[in-house]
Chains A and B, each alone.
Chain A
Amino acid sequence: MIVRQIIRSIGPILIVLLLASCSSRQSLFVVLPNADGSSGAVTIETPQKSVLLDKPYAAGEVRSGVAAPVQVDQAQVQQIFGNALAAQPVLPSHFVLYFEKDSDVLTPASKRQYESVFDDIKRRPVYEVEVIGHTDTMGTQAHNQQLSMSRAEMIRDRLVHDGINPKSISVAGRGSLDEAVKTADQVAEPRNRRVEITVR
């Protein structure tokens, strides 16, 4: 009689435990903090349920095809993902160098900044460099197209002169199409006289 009662009371618990052990974790998702400590968000979408993860170390898992939030700590992340994280490439860098008016000569501050572009490229085992030239809205479109290209080519030539592989550098000129600061036509704007350099 007592035995039957015990079975009756713990039976459902046993079934739940059995089900839980049957449905093992199929996948795990964790949001990591960005370099500045902030984070974006991801949504785990499964047919029955979606789970939003929008904080650093917010985590979710899928069991039996259903998503659910789950707790993980930094140590667990390191244990599971340590190898993948260690294989992460050097992150891409972005630089902006500025030019004198209607010229492909760098401003004094940007001449110094060029050195950090060069150093950033050199610390990478393998690299790709994108150089995109821009102008302000002074002058004709044709002239600005030409000027933006000369600015990009000047940087490329300087990098090649300093030993960077020309095959790994791409250049483009965008004229005054992509202003950093929106202005009317025929406005001299130092912040628009620039090249944008991406190193990855």
Chain B
Amino acid sequence: MKFTNRFWHTAECFAFILAMLAVAGSTAYADNSQVAQIKTVSGQAEIVRNGARAAAKIGDPLYEKDTIETGADGSIGITFIDNTVMSGGPNSQIVLEDYKFNSSDFKGSMLTDMNRGTVSMISGDIARSTPGAMKVKTPTAILAVRGTSFVIEVKP
């Protein structure tokens, strides 16, 4: 009896740990999928991730939900895994709000929050393969992109 109890307790613990690992594993996977890489940095440029702020460095990966912020002398250039190219000028805040990309069929979706400052973008595979999937949101408008190069300024 005592043995059986202990056995079931152990089994329960084991199942619980497995379940936790499964959850942690899937979360870690989402966090680990790089969506872009920092290619150029000049002056003050920072990445805010899960509330933590760090200086942007050339070669660093970027993830969905990252916020890019530049100071008065700052600028930054990044390239996404679907070959979308984006660069921000001074006093800018840009959030990588949504980014999904399947490298087998080149389909995906991309929503960037352009909160303030200046940004230049050249669309990549997502805009080409999935009409209507690339959008940029400013505080007063939504920009729907069909395969092109464009710039946006948002006044503070």
| SS of A interface (majority) | mixed
Which residues of B118-156 have CB atoms within 8 Å of chain A's CB atoms?
118-120, 122-124, 127, 138-155
Interface pair A43/B144, CB less than 8 Å apart: yes
Q: Which residues of B contact A62 (CB under 8 A)?
A: 138, 140-141
Binary per-residue interface labels of chain B (79-103) against chain A in the complex, 1 for a CB within 8 Å, 0 otherwise:
1000101011110100000000001
Q: Which residues of B contact A181 (CB under 8 A)?
A: none
Interface pair B76/A87, CB less than 8 Å apart: yes
Q: Which residues of B contact A29 (CB under 8 A)?
A: 141, 143, 150-152
Answer yes or no: B109 CB below 8 A from chain A CBs. no
Q: Whole-angstrom distance between the alpha carbons of A50 and B40 in the complex?
A: 34
Q: Whole-angstrom distance between the alpha carbons of A44 and B139 in the complex?
A: 12
Query: What 9 pairs across the A-B complex have the smallest Cβ distances?
Result: A40-B148, A89-B39, A84-B89, A87-B75, A40-B147, A83-B89, A87-B87, A92-B83, A89-B77
Q: Nearest A residue to B149 by beta-carbon distance?
A: A32
Interface residues of A (CB under 8 A from B): 24-34, 39-46, 53, 62, 65, 67, 77, 80-92, 124-126, 128, 130, 198, 200
Interface pair A41/B146, CB less than 8 Å apart: yes
Partner of B90, one of A34, A53, A83, A88: A83
Q: Whole-angstrom distance between the alpha carbons of A88 and B143 in the complex?
A: 20
Interface pair A42/B148, CB less than 8 Å apart: yes
Answer yes or no: B42 CB below 8 A from chain A CBs. yes
Partner of A43, one of B59, B92, B143: B143
Interface residues of B (CB under 8 A from A): 37-40, 42, 58-59, 75-79, 83, 85, 87-90, 92, 103, 118-120, 122-124, 127, 138-155
Interface pair A85/B155, CB less than 8 Å apart: no
| SS of B interface (majority) | strand
Q: Given A45-B143, A62-B140, A92-B85, are A40 and B123 also a contact pair (CB < 8 Å)?
A: yes
Q: Nearest A residue to B138 by beta-carbon distance?
A: A27
Q: Whole-angstrom distance between the alpha carbons of A135 and B122 in the complex?
A: 31
Partner of A87, one of B89, B140, B144: B89
Q: Nearest B residue to A64 by beta-carbon distance?
A: B140
Q: Which residues of B contact A46 (CB under 8 A)?
A: 140-141
Partner of B85, one of A26, A31, A91, A198: A91
* Minimum Cβ distance to chain A for residue B139 (Å): 7
Interface centre among A25, A89, A198 (most CB of B within 10 A): A89
* Minimum Cβ distance to chain B for residue A166 (Å): 15
Interface pair A31/B40, CB less than 8 Å apart: no
Q: Can you list 25 A-B pairs with a CB-CB distance of less than 8 A?
A: A25-B155, A26-B154, A27-B138, A27-B154, A28-B153, A34-B122, A39-B148, A42-B143, A42-B145, A44-B143, A45-B142, A81-B120, A81-B153, A83-B75, A84-B87, A84-B118, A84-B120, A87-B42, A87-B120, A88-B85, A89-B40, A90-B39, A124-B39, A128-B79, A200-B79
Q: Whole-angstrom distance between the alpha carbons of A53 and B87 in the complex?
A: 21
Q: Which residues of A contact B139 (CB under 8 A)?
A: 26-27
